[in-house]
Amino acid sequence: MELELFRSYHPEGTNGELKLVVCKTIELPWLQNQRSVSCIPEGRYELMNRTTAKRGQHLLVLNVKGRDGILIHPANDAKKELRGCIAPVTTLTGPGKGSQSRLANEKLKALVLEALEQNEKVFITIKSK
């Protein structure tokens, strides 16, 4: 399965549209891939399923150069709730802001987990609009 995330960069945050699944995304602004304050670089990344005590079951973005622990998880305000991760949202409400993130995340997670359970690799490609 191939997912594509198309980004629009703004000084206050980065917005995107995830293709294959009809949902939007929010991230931190591009700040040269600085840990915890920047979105990750454009590129193609494999996704895997992971479960932790803090976040429960979520998606992990693998092999991000110079970074680790990049997740796809719910958040409606990138600057307040993200530290370099990607948050699916149903609606964009401003740069780095959205709404109904939990709903969008559950839809995305269900689709990706179904593919992973069938031993299919899942990739996300991130690029500019």
What tens digit of pLDDT does each residue of 20-36 get? 766 999 999 999 999 99
Summarize pLDDT for 54-102 with one digit per residue, the tens.
889 999 999 999 999 999 999 999 999 999 999 999 999 999 999 999 9
- Please check the confidence at residue 121 and state whether its pLDDT lies above 90: yes
| 81 sits in which H/E element | helix 78-81
Summarize pLDDT for 41-53 with one digit per residue, the tens.
999 999 999 999 9
| 56 sits in which H/E element | strand 56-61
Answer whether 98's CB lies under 8 Å from 86's CB. no
The model's pTM is 0.87
Structural domain boundaries in the chain: 2-128
